[in-house]
Chain A
Amino acid sequence: MTLVKFIYKWFVNYWPVRFQAIVFLTVFVFIQQALGYFINDDASSYQAIATLLLKIVYAVTGGVLSFSVVSLLLPYFSNLFQAIKKPIHPELRPVSGNRTAFSIPKFLLPFLGSISVRLMPSEKSSSVLTVFQSEALIPFFMRGVLHWKQELVDLYRIQAIIIYHSDFLSLFRLPLKIDLQANLARWPQVDELEPRFVPVAVAKSEKFRIDELKKIEGEYLSYKTFEEGDDIRRIVWTIYARNRELVIRQPEIMNPYASHINFVPLFYSENLITAPQGVIRYYLSEYKQQVWKIYLELCAEGSEVRFQSSLTLDSHYGTDQKNIRDQITGAEWQSLNQTTILLPRKFPSVVVIPAIAPDEVVNALLIHPEITLVYIPMDFFALRKRPVLEKLFMNDNQSIRTIMDIWHVQPSYHQIQLRERQRLSMFKAYPQVKVLGNEVGNG
């Protein structure tokens, strides 16, 4: 099976002859045979002229083909030679939106032809093919913009790129593999913000900063063992020196958390989910999108939003937006047995829970009425179900929709829907739970 997979991958990545070329040749041979059948050898002038015309067509075709091949081979071998002589360093740089600037120094383009680039991510199985047109006819320096067509919000670690040289009739593509370390990301995108999830506890608070509080001389009544996310500066090193125990001081302030909000997106998922991998990945992508949106909305409120994450071991209360975006973008589903349940210890908090979160997580969170829970239902995305007529007559530019279309008729879908309905009815008893509704539809 692995051999088959290998061969398949090799064909996808390195096979130089396009299907178009095979068709071209087949048609050529077929036409020759067909006309040859009609043109018999009765030596009439009809035969003479038909043969002559055919010959001319052959010669022109041969000329164009050979020119096309030569104009492809010359730059290809020149580039190959360059690459062997001195490693080529193509540059991939994200630009605004989801575009990526791409440039290679000293690179020849096939005459009238084109170059396309396949990015080879390290972990994720899907590779990305983008067509790249150079800006000049015979460039020595290629520069252009890759149109990043990735649908899913994720971080891609590119390990290599394959540069395909393609002739002007698009009959062949010659691959040139170049090693390259680059990270590309499909960031979550937010069009407009509409603050929806005002945390319960902040509602009446005065706004003053914790930094100011820090300076207040207070009595340190209690100590607390150090936990993930605690401020390292508060560690009492004397106690550590004595007991080898990490302990922090807890200041006694009447309303210590009034000025900031904890933002805790959870990425726990059940292992039991029987939905197809594609759907789960798609849900993850959409979930990230929503998490990022909620985060930005909270930020727009004006209060300091601290990001608490179970994603990395060295998690901390982050405030760096870029860092948080990276973390959200690169997030993966976590199963419970990997880590213990992360619960916010400080309030007010906004916790985002995915639809596929295990029951234990949900139950553990529900007992704290101070925590604002944002539940992102799977059914929210089921909105993308397309009407039959559209399905029948329109292609879809998103491959996920095809998977969704199929999934909608599978039993696992109904299973999840059933559970979700149960959960939603349960949530009615808890006012702190907000369910992301249909009115928030945003791709």
Chain B
Amino acid sequence: MKWVTDRKWRLYALRLILLVLPLTVLLYTVINGILLLGGMDQQFTKINAIFLFITLALSSLVYSFRFRFSSTTGLLFLLLYVIVQSADLFSFGEFDGFYISSKLLIGSWLIAWCWLLGFGILRSLVILTVQLALLLAIHIYSLAQLPFVDASSLLLSATPNIIVSFWLIYASSYLNKVEQGNESGKQLLTKIVLFLLLILAILGVVINWFSADIKGVEKEWAQDKGTGKGNSGGGRKDGESMTKKNRDGGIENKDQTKLTGSLQRDKQLVFVAKLDNYFEEGVPNPLYFTSHYYTLFDEQTQTFEPDPKMPANDLFKPDPSQTPLYKAITDNSVIKKSGGVLNRKIVNAEIYKVAMAASSFVAPSTAFYCQPVSVPPNTNFKSAYKAKMWVSELNSAYFIYNPANNPELKAFQEQRFDLLRSVDKITMTSEKEMAYFTAMPKSPDYDVIGRLSDSITQGLDKPIDKIIAIRNYFTSKDKYGQPLFKYSDNPGVPGLPSATKLKYFLFENRKGYCAYFAGATLFMLRSLGIPSRIAVGYLAVDRSSKNPGWYWFYPDQAHAWVQAYFPGYGWLDFDTTVPDQNTQQAEQPDGTPPEEISQIYLVAHGRIVTIDTLSKTVSFKTNQLVYHEKEYKAKDSVTLQLNLTQARILLDTGTLAFNKLKPGMSGTAVSRDISLKDTKPISDELTGVIDVLKQPVPIDELKLLVEQAKEKESKNKGTSQTARNWWKIIWIIAISFCSLIVLLLMMPIFYSAYLEQRARTNEVASVYKRYLFRLHMFNIRPNNESIMQFAKSVDGQFNTHFREISQAYANNLFNSSVEQEKQESQFTYKVFNNSLLKSFKFKHRLRARMDFIRWITFIKQLKK
């Protein structure tokens, strides 16, 4: 291919193939993606794509010539506008008219877009880049929203577009350069192939890099489908939620709460709890369940955050998923740190998780004990634990609920207030603590809140009265008799950028959800010098008349409230959030509580050693046993044979099939088998128990520890990976060895290409060298002959015209006259080579190409 005449047309044809075609395909996929996302039943057909192609081709044709952009594009847009407008004038019937005009409108938008793209290809790389980036972003957005696709097929549809985008930028700028330069078709092709290879290589490396993440996402989707949730299309949420979903699908209270425009809630059972807390008459006494305390407020992001460095940190935060079954974790220090001694008692609770994350721990404050327990079979509970709390009697939910206008509740709550009126002044154990819990952001915006609380609590001395006044302020009514504050999940965002959200909530909008009320209360209390913090967790509602003491928790019960410190009484809960007036809470169905778990006889902590898949037994190494509620420990672990035919194998996230068990996994085996009921151990030693047991022991439940199981898994993978690595290394060595040989064989070819390149300079020496090399490779070399003698003998032998170049070289060597250079172009290497090749058989010709030893000797001779 040579760019001689009608170069412009050839270039245009190249542009059509290299740029317009891929761009059309890109547009086609992106538009189809958008249509699919929009839920339109129409498809962007291939015929439509041909229209796109034609528009792009036309545009690039027009701008191949020196047409002005502004005037031509302006004219086109005007034309399109007129067409769209005039479509309304001709009535085709109301519906048809609308249909056709809307189609025309979309069509003309597309044409305009394609026109701009066509211009970008030809003239403006900037416009092209911007549009391609836009296309890619739209494509990613629409792809990510598509339901029911697996991650790898998604990648398959996304990656071509990435390649095409880069390709278009490269090829467009390259072809524009070609227009001015003088490239041959061969070079063009090489560059194209090289660029594509480069992009593919980079893409390959990147995808390999992210393969773990891709698999992770796929797994997540599979899980979502498994639990019936699916990846709901368009499941994007605008608002903030009080809970968050973990990667494994578990629900957890958030580590931080942003004050945002709206709140989103789900209707999915999070957990079920049994609380051993009753009034004297046996009436259940609900408690708020706490997850975190927020003590810090980030002014910049308007976010409440927990502070791990909080003084006297009384938050008990074990990870039940990392604790072996029936192993108790206790932290008695929190009891002291809670600062409460008056009206306190120990309360027991059992928490059964459904959607709640395996690792999270919620309990009424102040919890100090956690023991994971097994969950009853054939329920959808994932895991469970028992908890013990140092609970203040004054923290009964009935004391905390915002009474609003419920006189009964109001009267009941007076008991607590009367008690707390004995506190005249609040002090904490140290000044530092006091300063920490009464800290306010230093900004005029928060001073306003201080002034408001001052005005509300005017004339009141006792801290508790001040708190009540603040709570009453939120439930008070305005001059029209309407509630001053309203509950809203969607309070909207302040219009003024400078206004803080709390200020906006308190003085203008007066609508918000719990975080707003809690946040505002916190600052009002702190401005009055009352140490306070925000507690986040779940609001308990006693709805179960059938099962007293059982509570069901849904995501809409996720809540935030305020805790204030009273010396002697510790941290006491206050809820200032006004009841939701508009949306009456739908009655949440209470399920049946988990059955009473039958008596457990054996609990063994240990590790799986061997697995017998046939009889479904495993050998289990253990050094810690609980037998008939008595604990046995030993230094050396003993091996137990476990029969898992009846056993449920559990992970925090669900059950595990037997064949997924691997040696090295650790966990807890639980047996409720009646046969164990009457067997008594012979001695107090661990071996004493083992000896009595009839092995294999029938096991009802095997609970594996997730992280450790994973670790083991990855270790196992590691061993198999090392085996694979060996293969890899062998392969790499073999391939590199082969490629080295190939490279050596190719060396003469490369060198000859190099000589060809050098010869282009038309320096006689370089040209002569090229001829000489060719002859050398055919094993024809001068033996102490002069240049001309050698040439003569060669010409005689092969009927070549070697003499001419030799003559030129000799002349050049001895009298470097310039005129000799011109002669060189008269004889060509091609003719010489052809006549040389005629004299040799194929075998020799091949050898002349590949013999690298001859090549080395040639190089050696050159050096001499």
Contacts and interface: CB of A to CB of B under 8 A. Distances in A.
A and B interact: yes
Contacts of B576: none
Contacts of B658: none
A28 interface: yes
Which of A38, A57, A130 has most chain B Cβ within 10 Å?
Answer: A57
B1 to A, nearest CB: 14
Contacts of B210: 52, 55-56, 59
B238 A393 contact: no
Interface in A1-53: 19-20, 23-24, 27-28, 30-31, 34-35, 38-50, 52-53
A47 B143 CA distance: 11
A378 B155 CA distance: 67
Interface size class of B (residues with CB under 8 A): 35 or more
A45 B151 CA distance: 10
A130 B220 CA distance: 56
7 contacts: A38-B236, A45-B220, A114-B174, A137-B187, A141-B758, A394-B67, A397-B66
B141 interface: yes
B173 interface: yes
A50 B761 contact: no
A123 interface: no
Interface in B365-422: none
Interface string B122-149: 0001100110011011001101110000
A41 B170 CA distance: 35
Nearest to B158: A53
A23 B144 contact: no
Contacts of B241: 42
Given A50-B140, A392-B68, A394-B67, A60 B170 contact: no
A170 B72 CA distance: 27
Contacts of A145: 182
Interface in B30-80: 66-68, 71-72
Contacts of B129: 20, 23-24, 27
Contacts of A133: 177-178, 181-183, 187
Interface in A139-195: 139-141, 143-145, 147, 168-170
Interface stretch (B243-251, B269-277, B324-332, B427-435): B243-251
B743 to A, nearest CB: 16
B459 interface: no
Contacts of A168: 170, 173-174, 195
B136 A31 contact: yes
B740 interface: no
Contacts of A392: 68, 71
Contact of A130 (B178, B180, B246): B180
A46 B229 CA distance: 13
Contact of B173 (A139, A141, A169): A169
Nearest to A50: B144
A395 B209 CA distance: 49
A258 B180 CA distance: 51
Interface string B557-577: 000000000000000000000
A67 B200 CA distance: 13
A314 interface: no
A63 interface: yes
B202 A67 contact: yes
A103 to B, nearest CB: 7
Which of B184, B198, B199, B207 has most chain A Cβ within 10 Å?
Answer: B198
Interface string A121-138: 000000000111101110
Which of A34, A103, A170 has most chain B Cβ within 10 Å?
Answer: A170
Nearest to B154: A49
A23 B126 contact: yes
B247 A27 contact: no
Interface string B148-190: 0001001100110010001001100110011011111001001
Contacts of B125: 20, 170
A151 to B, nearest CB: 15
Contacts of A20: 125-126, 129
A400 to B, nearest CB: 15
A139 B757 contact: yes
B481 interface: no
B203 interface: yes
A43 B141 contact: no
Given A20-B129, A52-B214, A44 B174 contact: no
Given A27-B133, A64-B199, A48 B180 contact: no
Given A46-B236, A67-B202, A23 B140 contact: no
Nearest to B237: A42
Contacts of A50: 140-141, 144
A46 B230 CA distance: 11
A394 B69 CA distance: 9
B689 interface: no
Given A42-B236, A44-B235, 8 more contacts: A41-B244, A50-B141, A52-B217, A53-B154, A132-B181, A133-B181, A133-B187, A168-B195
B191 interface: yes
A54 interface: yes
Contacts of B134: 27, 31
A112 interface: yes
B224 interface: yes
Contacts of B735: none
> Which 7 pairs across A and B sit closest by C-beta, in order of nearness?
A50-B144, A133-B181, A63-B202, A27-B133, A170-B173, A395-B66, A59-B206
Contact of A137 (B190, B202, B217, B761): B190
B169 A169 contact: yes
A48 B130 contact: no
Contacts of A38: 141, 236
Interface in A68-113: 103, 112
Contact of B194 (A56, A112, A169): A112
Contact of B757 (A24, A67, A136): A136
A396 interface: yes
Contacts of A397: 66
Given A53-B158, A392-B71, A141 B757 contact: yes
A35 B140 contact: yes
A56 B247 contact: no
Contact of A40 (B126, B194, B198, B238): B238
A4 to B, nearest CB: 26
A397 B66 CA distance: 8
A143 B246 CA distance: 62
B166 A64 contact: yes
B684 interface: no
Contacts of B191: 112, 137
B60 to A, nearest CB: 15
B760 interface: yes
A25 to B, nearest CB: 10
B205 interface: yes
Which of B125, B187, B210 has most chain A Cβ within 10 Å?
Answer: B125
B130 A27 contact: yes
Contacts of B144: 39, 46-47, 49-50, 53
Contacts of A112: 170, 191, 194-195, 198
B221 interface: yes
Contact of B162 (A45, A57, A137): A57
B213 interface: yes
A114 B246 CA distance: 50
A390 to B, nearest CB: 10
B108 interface: no
Contact of A53 (B140, B237, B238): B140
Contacts of B236: 38-40, 42, 44, 46
Interface string B222-244: 00100000010001111001001
Interface in B252-285: 264
A40 to B, nearest CB: 7
Contacts of A24: 129
A130 B205 CA distance: 37
Given A40-B236, A55-B210, A60-B206, A49 B180 contact: no
B397 to A, nearest CB: 29
